[in-house]
Amino acid sequence: MTANAEDRPYVWQMIRRAVDELGPSTTNVAVRNWILERWPDTNRNTISCQIIVCTVNHASRVHYPENKKPRKANLQYDFLFRPTRGELELFDSAKHGDWEIVEQEDGRNLVRRIDAPEPVPSESGIFAAEAHLRDYLADHLELIEPGLSLYADEDGNAGVEYTTPVGRIDILAQDANEGLVVIELKVSKGPDAVVGQVLRYKGWVVHHLAVGKPVRGVIVAGHITDRIRYAVSQVADVMLLEYELAVTLKAVSAMS
């Protein structure tokens, strides 16, 4: 039965009501369907993303505004636990342990169980730089295009390092018109092979996720070579972006 418009809560509150009614163990799909029966115009991707926001052990929850600051998982958004892909439980610290969002030495946030070992420091060099670039852009998708948001599928998998049978997509996003955007990142000079990589991912997304919606590609690199530009000139719906880094220094007084 459709709920009264005046009774429309925030999406995270819809999720909480759904889980309370469906029972302590349920699924992402069941929660989504419960919400859509009552508020049919609710955006499906928003439901999937808000489930991630509220799941204490979901690694990608740190990419959403509600979870930007390090803290213990004991706020209003911390009421779900993900035992396995596509499944949800009401979070119970006595059963699932205490969880937190902690800041690592490299400045990135990490989801972990409080009694777990200390997080392993990030590797130095290009791999750490690519991870930083990926996480920064996942948190600031408006830099690529206004209205972009992270994609999340019905099993609760977020669009950061989105795993497919044909490879792992750096960032999978959704635009303001619900089209899907495949974003591939190269920390320095991008090899021309990245064009084929993006097209392969686009093809898989078209066949398995898009359901008739448009799919575009974006290549972000420190330097876009002429080889990439020539290759992209022969394909549709792939945008090229170069990024620049800036460093700002400020004086800090010594301890007196």
Residue 255 lies inside a defined structural domain of this protein: no
Tell whether 247 is covered by a domain.
no
Displacement of CA 240 from its chain's centroid (Å): 21
- The domain tally of the chain equals 2
Q: Is residue 249 part of a domain?
A: no
Structural domain containing residue 180: 126-242
Q: How many CB atoms lie within 10 A of CB 19?
A: 23
Shared-domain flag, residues 12 and 99: yes
Predicted pLDDT at 189: 62
Q: How far apart are CA 215 and CA 202, in angstroms?
A: 6
The distance of Cα 203 from the centroid of its chain, to the nearest Å, equals 20
Give a yes or no: residue 250 inside a domain.
no
Q: Are residues 76 and 168 in the same domain?
A: no
> Do 146 and 83 share a domain, yes or no?
no
Q: Which of 113, 147, 168 is the last residue of a domain?
A: 113
Q: Are residues 195 and 169 in the same domain?
A: yes
In a domain, 120, yes or no: no
Give dist(CA 15, CA 225) in Å, integer.
46
Residue 237 sits in a domain whose CATH number is 3.40.1350.10
Return the pLDDT at 128: 56
29 and 61 both lie in a single domain? yes
Are 136 and 52 part of one and the same domain? no
Same domain, 238 and 137: yes
- Does 248 fall in a domain? no
CATH number for the domain spanning 91: value is 1.10.10
Same domain? 102 vs 153 = no
Whether 163 and 204 share a structural domain: yes
pLDDT at position 123: 45
Q: Are residues 149 and 102 in the same domain?
A: no
Residues 131 and 192 in one domain: yes
User: Domain for residue 237, yes or no?
Assistant: yes
C-alpha–C-alpha distance, residues 214 and 179, integer Å: 5
The pLDDT assigned to 253 comes to: 84
Q: Any long-range contacts for 163-166 (C-beta under 8 Å, 24+ apart)? A: 164/201, 164/204, 164/205, 164/208, 165/204, 166/200, 166/201, 166/203, 166/204
Q: Do 146 and 70 share a structural domain?
A: no
Which amino acid is it at 16? Answer: R
From the first residue on, what is the mean pLDDT of each consecutive set of 10 residues in the chain (256 residues)? 69 96 94 96 95 95 93 94 94 94 87 74 52 88 94 93 94 95 84 89 96 95 90 92 79 81
Domain boundary among 113, 135, 150: 113
- Neighbouring residues of 26: CB distance < 8 A, sequence distance ≥ 6: 18, 19, 87, 88, 89
Task: Kindly report the three-state secondary structure assignment for every residue of the chain.
Answer: CCCCHHHCCCHHHHHHHHHHHHCCEEEHHHHHHHHHHHCCCCCHHHHHHHHHHCECCCHHHHHCHHHCCCEECCCCCCCEECCCCCEEEECCHHHHCCEEEEECCCCCEEEEECCCCCCCCCCCCHHHHHHHHHHHHHHCHHHCCCCCEECECCCCCECEEEEECCEEEEEEEECCCCCEEEEEEEEEECCCHHHHHHHHHHHHHHHHCCCCCCEEEEEEEEECCHHHHHHHCCCCCEEEEECCCCCCCCCCCCCC
